[in-house]
Amino acid sequence: MPVSDRPVYLQLRDRIADAILDGTYRAGDMLPSVRALAAEQGANPLTVAKAYQLFQDEGLVVVRRGVGMFVAEDATARLLDRERRAFLDEEWPRIRAVMERLRLDPAELLEGA
């Protein structure tokens, strides 16, 4: 796992959220078990369980006792909405400030893409 200031369970949560957003996990898909994900990521199973609990608390996964944890039907749309709001509220103001300080024209940036 990469070194980060963020707690490991939040890093795991971000990775799972990214996998849902990019379509690796779709609505109705079963997520890896806590033990399987812990082994894959080199993390403590309790840490993985904490990350999964966040998804449960947010209603992004559905738990079927004795079967596993599944991506909720509206998880992708809800995650996309949350990520967009977070970008606009947290990241965009910093990016915009840098663009203004460097006198970067958004049109020029888009032309170079």
What's the pTM?
A: 0.80
pLDDT digits (tens, 9 = 90+) for 74-113: 999 999 999 999 999 999 999 999 999 999 998 888 886 5
Please give the sequence-ordered ranges of beta strands (E in DSSP) within 7-103, or none if there are none.
Answer: 61-64, 68-71
pLDDT digits (tens, 9 = 90+) for 44-76: 999 999 999 999 999 999 999 999 999 999 999
Q: Where in the chain is the domain with CATH 1.10.10.10?
A: 8-73
The CATH code of domain 8-73 reads 1.10.10.10
Query: Residue 108's pLDDT is what?
Result: 85
Q: Does 1 have pLDDT greater than 50? A: no
Q: Does 3 have pLDDT greater than 70? A: no
Euclidean distance between CA atoms 113 and 106, whole angstroms: 11
SS3 state of residue 14: helix
